[in-house]
Structure 1
Amino acid sequence: MTTTKRDAGVHVQVRGLRVVGSRPGEPDTTIVHGIDLDIARGEILALIGESGSGKTTIALSLMGHARGGCRIAGGTVRVGNTDVLALSARELAALRGRRVAYIAQSAAAAFNPSRTILDQVIESALIHHTMSKAAAQAKAIELFRALALPQPETIGRRYPHQVSGGQLQRLMAAMALITDPEVVILDEPTTALDVTTQVDVLRAFRTVIRERGMTAVYVSHDLAVVGQMADRIAVLSEGVVREIGATAQILQAPEHPYTQSLVAAVTPTDLPARERTTDTTDAPLLEIRRVAAGYGRRDAKGWPEKMILNDIDLTIRRGETVGVIGESGSGKSTLAKVIAGLVPSCGGSVLLNGDPLPRGLHGRTRDQFRRIQIVFQNADTALNPVHTVERTLARPLAFYHGLKGERARRRVAELLELVKLPSSIAQRRTTELSGGQKQRVNLARALAAEPDLILCDEVTSALDTVVGAAILDLLRDLQRQLGVSYLFITHDIAKVRAISDDIVVLYAGHRVESGDRHALSAPPLHPYSHLLVSSAPEPREGWLDEASERCHRPLAPIGDVASDPDLCTFLARCALRVDGVCNRTAPSLRTFGNGAQVLCHRTEADLALLQAEAAPAL
């Protein structure tokens, strides 16, 4: 391997790094402009910025890697005494996964669904011959325990689809850390996680990195998150470092205007006044009455093996937005799929304009399909990568409206204008677009049907703060122009408040609270809603430790739990539970003075007092 001298005390040194992108027949475009960075041994440096700022490109260069269509055109990258950019392909293979490890944003894409988790976690150690298989298995279990994974001795026997998203993210970290790398790169590892899971994952990552003395680079668009992890923060835009400094300085006294705008974007503000534009006495567009649904083989009564939704009620009016919030596994996406007919319900009814919809796809008319459209979370998997934008949008135009040829092309141009994309983008493939552009095309495809209702399933969760805010603004504009209604699914309390008229909180398939956006902005709340609100990251040091204590505070002992299936589903995690009540009888649905409906034994006064004593930032 090629080695060279480096500055004393510096573990990772980047000098004059330049990365360019190129397309056939076009001049090179500079993506990263002469970056200089120093990272001390054991330090965590955050790279933060919007999509396209160059943060992931810089992080990947620490492994001597450039993404497709890009190349490292100049500069040096040193890890220890190794000049990474001077290594051969064979030497780079020995470096990656051994001395420099990478934790990606999508854990699901990093695992092979046909192999057990343990086999995949230890694979890097076996490839690099750092230990025997038995030793690697023992170390993996040790890492599972350090990363606060449940059942560390046996979780490795499962397959990737048998664990939650937060667990899979931590298992991917174990896969990266199994070789005791010198440097670990964390590339947006918590972006798509719900807030309570994010608290657990961040705490686990920070603990393991600190205890093992690793040098880390944390890539993110979220200042509030990196504020809990990083010693220093480098702020990037357009491939240039705009500001670099200690975490406290960046969060509390940012100097560059761009950094100031990022801090302002994550600083909590009061909700602006927003009046309803429709009469709540009007007949609803969509009604959900006591809907139940699940997955797996059905019994003789038609009930599925795994129940996901239980007795869900929900109403959406024309031109309004209902937000649905909850952790992973709460039933949010299943609810959207039931409305769309992708998952047949096993109980209750879904009514569109007062008319019952068939339980599944079979029996629905083309017009019913047209009137309810769904926009999925991941535009990369929702859009066909071999199709141009024009072909993607032309398909629903032909299917629902019979538009072809020049009429279709004109309508495609109109749709692109609606979602604020240039008409020139029509001839590009979706793989050539940014994340925000892809999501706009995803939305334009739904609008092509001219629907009454759009089901937005985590449509901003994989986008950076600025791009996500732009998508929310676009949704509001389209609602004003077209009168379309939304079911907006998210795990982000700030986003659901920003766009929704009414909010429904789901936990373990039950509606535990519902009310308008202002009712869910201050206590009293259902204890689970309170946990969600107080787990939203804040841009200040020390927040993670406070949130961890709230999420994992010791609970008062409780007696035997009755076998009644209607008992509170949040019982095992509730800090406000009452022995002899919550574990014996089902909670009732209470209506509070602010109009919120809360499924809880506690009275409005109880919850207000107890939540005020807890005093989380709301």
Structure 2
Amino acid sequence: MSSPTAHNLVEVRGLRVVGSRPGEPDTTIVHGVDFDVACGEVLALIGESGSGKTTIALSLMGHARSGCRISGGTIRVGDTDVRSLSAKGLAALRGRKVAYIAQSAAAAFNPSRAILDQVIESALIHGTLSKPAAQAKAIELFRALALPEPEKIGKRYPHQVSGGQLQRLMAAMAMITDPELVILDEPTTALDVTTQIDVLQAFKRVIKEFGMTAVYVSHDLAVVAQMADRILVLSDGQIREAGATGQILHAPAHPYTQSLIAAVTPQRAVCTSGEPAPLSGEALQARRASDAPLLEVRRVMAGYGRKDAQGLPAKVILNDVDLRIGRAQTVGVIGESGSGKTTLAKVIAGLVPASGGSLLLDGEPLPADLNRRTREQFRRIQIVFQNADTALNPVHTVERTLARPLAFYHGIKGAKAKARVAELLELVRLPAALASRSTSELSGGQKQRVNLARALAAEPDLILCDEVTSALDTVVGAAILDLLRDLQRKLGVSYVFITHDIAKVRAISDDIVVLYAGHRVETGSREALCAPPFHPYSHLLVSSAPELRAGWLDEASQRCHQPLAPIGPSTDNPELCTFLDRCSLRVDGVCNHAAPSVRTLENGAQVLCHRSEADLLSFQTPHEAFAYAQVERA
């Protein structure tokens, strides 16, 4: 650790943060941490959930979350002793000298106020700029952050912009006062991979142009590799290792750092790992019991809003989608936000009625309307939602949470239910002692395991996993994937695994479906989605998955923003390719005039595209061609 110098903007010595509950002794959360941040440096705080990284970052503003307090140490930002400040002094510090960019931009904005008014509010409160000057500077920041229509976007309301745009607008809000230090707390965790590239590139460019000092909090080492000069690796409120980014990524010294690196599954390991571990006897019997699929989705259409004379909703989300799920099989569904992934899961679960097409469970029609399904059909198809915090009742104990489906589906109560709850907790690798705790007391990974155990309590044939690892850190997410695979081997359960992360979908899926704007643009085995040829949209997703090396972001920005081939106006054919406006392989007079047809490639994948297999195979950069060749050679 470097010693304090005049060149350090931030100096922290002996920082200690404790949590306390009435009648209980204090629990130490951060144990005497020392670190510095040099002027103009980007320092990353990396670690699992509960490692103390956000707690440490918030302490730089003199803030501790509810139930916690800073109990020791010194914190200096510039010439300010943060711990000596009064409440008024802290208010003057926050948003002026130290700015904070939170994980959830949606929660940071008031939905009833125009964006520009909220972005400039901090400058007006601190008196750093007049209103006209603040508005002019906000537009300058919008332009620097590569936001569309920088002169107009501020007039919109938060719900009228995308998640990626809102995240960049929150960055503008933080930077409007020219703060000395910016804290970025997991700012891209909730974004899909293609949006993440744009947001990271915008953040990196603005930090460099304005010469800002930043602390970047994340659990994603691949993202940190693109942003940070130095990394502090944290666990249990202690610094396990500190060093330059290159050293941490390529020569980690501490075993904990090595475990974090190992949890970032490289593409080569996923794509050359061969067949998954064999199924157990019961699971294998389930897969072989019949050649018929467990569930079929046939030409399903779905959406929201009032239906027209043809029965189609005002807003169509899914358009003519097919899906086939075998017993003890995992089908991955991947795509950006808005592609229709969650709507597909809700259609299968009956939460959104299909407007067209059909669902077959064991070859028998499955009613699209939830109210027409039987209790047995409810039992056989369960859904695990993305956010376990909102899916679980925080005042209920784990035992009560798991006992409800046991009583509803199987009539199990009393001592038998208590014993079965213990078995379910063992299945999801949680200690039986957790049964008496309320779900609000659990960590994110524990909550997601309880969420999964609740689905397993029904003894289902199919579980719909909707972004179940997206809010979890790398190590916990990897553990959940391992748990899902283990349960499938033991129980023969099938999964629909929904995600925007290509590495995760490759790691767990037998077959993969790629959705774009509600259309199925590619379907194939895991192996087929490991190397070209791809549909152009699949190629974009693959190219957008962060790699664990510095410099990847700049290369990816070039690959993902290739110049588009110029084309003339499109016909009014509603069946035209939905990816037309973003596709650099589009062909004038073809893609903008005729609907694409499904073609089967040599690797068995099916793509919805006009281009030939040779065209799709050649659609890769020299770097990608080398990388795929290395995978094949391995």
TM-score bucket of the superposed structures, by smaller chain: over 0.9
Choose from 459, 474, 479 the match for 1:450: 459
Q: What is the DSSP-based 3-state SS (H/G/I as helix, E as strand, rest coil) of the residue aligned with 2:482? A: helix
Residue 180 of structure 1 corresponds to: 178
Q: Which stretch of the first structure deviates more once superposed, 89-98 or 224-233?
A: 89-98
Q: What is the DSSP-based 3-state SS (H/G/I as helix, E as strand, rest coil) of the residue aligned with 1:20? A: strand
Residue 357 of structure 2 corresponds to: 348
Residue 89 of structure 2 corresponds to: 91
Q: Which stretch of the first structure deviates more once superposed, 521-530 or 153-162?
A: 153-162
Q: Following TM superposition, by how much is the alpha carbon of 1:114 offset from its aligned partner in structure 2, in angstroms?
A: 3.1
Residue 33 of structure 1 corresponds to: 31
Q: Following TM superposition, by how much is the alpha carbon of 1:411 offset from its aligned partner in structure 2, in angstroms?
A: 1.8
Residue 219 of structure 1 corresponds to: 217
> What is the distance in 2 between the residues matched to 1:411 and 1:128?
58
Deviations 1:72-95 (A, max 9, x none): 111011111111111112211221
Distance 1:160 1:399, change over 3 A: farther
Q: Write out aligned runs for 1:235-384 (5 A).
A: 235-266=233-264, 267-271=266-270, 272-274=273-275, 278-279=287-288, 282-384=291-393
Q: How many residues align?
A: 614
TM-score, length-scaled by structure 1? 0.96
Deviations 1:559-614 (A, max 9, x none): 22222111111111112222222222111101111110011111112211233657
Q: Following TM superposition, by how much is the alpha carbon of 1:167 offset from its aligned partner in structure 2, in angstroms?
A: 1.7
Give the letter for the 1:86 counterpart. S
Q: Which stretch of the first structure deviates more once superposed, 53-62 or 113-122?
A: 113-122
Q: Following TM superposition, by how much is the alpha carbon of 1:254 offset from its aligned partner in structure 2, in angstroms?
A: 2.1
> What is the distance in 2 between the residues matched to 1:395 and 1:176?
45
Q: What is the DSSP-based 3-state SS (H/G/I as helix, E as strand, rest coil) of the residue aligned with 1:7? A: coil
Asked whether the equivalents of residues 280 and 317 of structure 1 are also in contact (C-alpha less than 8 Å), the reply is no
Deviations 1:239-275 (A, max 9, x none): 2212211212222222222222322332443331116
Q: Following TM superposition, by how much is the alpha carbon of 1:26 offset from its aligned partner in structure 2, in angstroms?
A: 3.0
Choose from 34, 59, 62 the match for 2:57: 59
> What is the distance in 2 between the residues matched to 1:158 and 1:406?
57
> What is the distance in 2 between the residues matched to 1:12 and 1:43?
10
Give the letter for the 1:270 counterpart. A
> What is the distance in 1 between the residues matched to 2:147 and 2:87?
35
Is 1:548–2:546 an aligned residue pair? Answer: no
Q: Following TM superposition, by how much is the alpha carbon of 1:201 offset from its aligned partner in structure 2, in angstroms?
A: 0.6
Residue 388 of structure 1 corresponds to: 397
Asked whether the equivalents of residues 543 and 560 of structure 2 are also in contact (C-alpha less than 8 Å), the reply is no
Q: Following TM superposition, by how much is the alpha carbon of 1:494 offset from its aligned partner in structure 2, in angstroms?
A: 0.7
> What is the distance in 1 between the residues matched to 2:500 and 2:419?
37
Asked whether the equivalents of residues 524 and 611 of structure 1 are also in contact (C-alpha less than 8 Å), the reply is no
> What is the distance in 1 between the residues matched to 2:477 and 2:31?
26
Q: Following TM superposition, by how much is the alpha carbon of 1:293 offset from its aligned partner in structure 2, in angstroms?
A: 1.0
TM-score, length-scaled by structure 2? 0.93
Question: Which ranges in structure 1 are unaligned for 5 or more consecutive residues?
Answer: 1-5
Q: Following TM superposition, by how much is the alpha carbon of 1:115 offset from its aligned partner in structure 2, in angstroms?
A: 3.0
Residue 74 of structure 1 corresponds to: 72
Q: What is the DSSP-based 3-state SS (H/G/I as helix, E as strand, rest coil) of the residue aligned with 2:201? A: helix
Distance 1:137 1:399, change over 3 A: farther
Root mean square deviation, CA, Å: 1.9
Q: Following TM superposition, by how much is the alpha carbon of 1:474 offset from its aligned partner in structure 2, in angstroms?
A: 0.7
Distance 1:516 1:26, change over 3 A: same
> What is the distance in 2 between the residues matched to 1:292 and 1:484?
26
> What is the distance in 1 between the residues matched to 2:454 and 2:5?
53
Is 1:18–2:19 an aligned residue pair? Answer: no
Distance 1:567 1:281, change over 3 A: farther
Q: Following TM superposition, by how much is the alpha carbon of 1:515 offset from its aligned partner in structure 2, in angstroms?
A: 0.7
> What is the distance in 2 between the residues matched to 1:121 and 1:403?
54
Q: What is the DSSP-based 3-state SS (H/G/I as helix, E as strand, rest coil) of the residue aligned with 2:372? A: coil
> What is the distance in 2 between the residues matched to 1:110 and 1:430?
25
> What is the distance in 2 between the residues matched to 1:612 and 1:43?
32
Distance 1:370 1:126, change over 3 A: farther
Question: Which ranges in structure 2 are unaligned for 5 or more consecutive residues?
Answer: 279-283, 629-634
- Percent identity between the aligned chains? 79
Q: Following TM superposition, by how much is the alpha carbon of 1:405 offset from its aligned partner in structure 2, in angstroms?
A: 2.5
Asked whether the equivalents of residues 523 and 612 of structure 1 are also in contact (C-alpha less than 8 Å), the reply is no
Choose from 104, 109, 112 the match for 1:111: 109
Is 1:590–2:589 an aligned residue pair? Answer: no
Q: Write out aligned runs for 1:430-441 (5 A).
A: 430-441=439-450
Q: Following TM superposition, by how much is the alpha carbon of 1:458 offset from its aligned partner in structure 2, in angstroms?
A: 0.4
> What is the distance in 1 between the residues matched to 2:106 and 2:347?
24
Deviations 1:333-366 (A, max 9, x none): 1111111111121111111122222223221222
Residue 3 of structure 1 corresponds to: none
Residue 42 of structure 1 corresponds to: 40
> What is the distance in 1 between the residues matched to 2:237 and 2:84?
23
Asked whether the equivalents of residues 166 and 197 of structure 1 are also in contact (C-alpha less than 8 Å), the reply is yes
Choose from 571, 577, 584 the match for 1:575: 584
Deviations 1:187-227 (A, max 9, x none): 11111211111100100111111111211000011111011
